[in-house]
Amino acid sequence: MNVTFQQKIALAGSVASFLIVDDHPLFREALQAAVRLAVPLADISEAASIDNALQLLATKTRVDLVLLDLSMPGTVGIEGLMQVRAAFPRLPVLVVSGNEEPKIVRAALSHGIAGFVPKSTSKEELAIVIEGVFKGGIYVPPHLLAAIEADDGYLVERALLERVRNLTPQQKRVLLMLREGLQNKQIAYELNVAETTVKAHVSEILRKLKVYSRTKAVVEIAKLDLSGL
């Protein structure tokens, strides 16, 4: 027998808990309807500001998913998302936003969100997205993915990241130390090698990254997520 998503929630013996963060009452109501469509017995809380959301999250024992609007009072860009992430780094967040700029979508995704959904998404579609997120998926509409990939800034960053991946392990270590602001002498000490060896590594790094100075290299790699190195 096939088990529906709602039945799986019930069989788990707990009620899924949601927090809707949006400053428009009518849209909070629309999001509630979408959540109820996906999880009829959901426990749903609402917040009309980021401060209110943080207060609620601090008092709740568990929240399974936050549905967050980026355009909140007192915030610009993804500032609200960053505040929530800083306070609750492991909390699943689904961004529901009217801002579909590629740089905004890309920046939000870089903070480990569960998905990015345009506000124009229908209630039925959003319910399907919520189900997918609960199953561990990450959702971004195809048209937004295409817009991100077509964005010049993204393509430049992706090309630079690919060049970073082609560095040797020792060159990657030197690059990370350059980003931390260490000078050649300090890097040589940390790696227990001669300073001339470090200079050779730096020269090769600049050549492979196609930048003309170590300052330019530091500026460029500051834009990248190098945690995987």
Q: With H, G, I as helix, E, B as strand and everything else as coil, classify residue 115.
A: strand
How does pLDDT run across 127-164, given as a tens digit for each residue? 999 988 887 788 889 888 888 777 666 667 777 888 88
How much is the mean pLDDT over the chain?
Answer: 86
- Contact of 94 with 65, CB cutoff 8 Å: yes
Q: Structure tokens of 47?
A: 């917040």
As a whole-number percent, the residues of the chain with pLDDT over 90 amount to 48
What percent of the chain is modeled with pLDDT above 70?
Answer: 89
pTM of the full predicted structure? 0.63
The HSE-up count of residue 182 (CA atoms within 13 Å, CB side) is 19
Which residues in the chain are classed under CATH 3.40.50.2300? Answer: 5-150
Query: What confidence score (pLDDT) does residue 70 get?
Result: 93
Beta strands 93-97 and 17-21 are unpaired
* pLDDT, average across residues 158-180: 87
Helix, strand and coil in the chain, % to nearest 5: 55, 10, 35
CATH number of 152-221: 1.10.10.10
Distance separating alpha carbons of residues 95 and 87, to the nearest angstrom: 17
Polymer length in residues for the chain: 229
Structure-derived torsion over alpha carbons of residues 15, 72, 140, 118, reported in degrees to the nearest 10: 100
Q: Provide the CB-side half-sphere exposure for 210 (13 A, CA).
A: 8
Where in the chain is CATH 1.10.10.10? 152-221
Q: How far apart are CA 41 and CA 52, in angstroms?
A: 24
* 62's tokens: 């568990």
Question: Which CATH number does 5-150 carry?
Answer: 3.40.50.2300
Q: What is the mean pLDDT of residues 174-179?
A: 90
12-46 residue pLDDT tens: 446 789 999 999 999 999 999 999 999 998 999 99
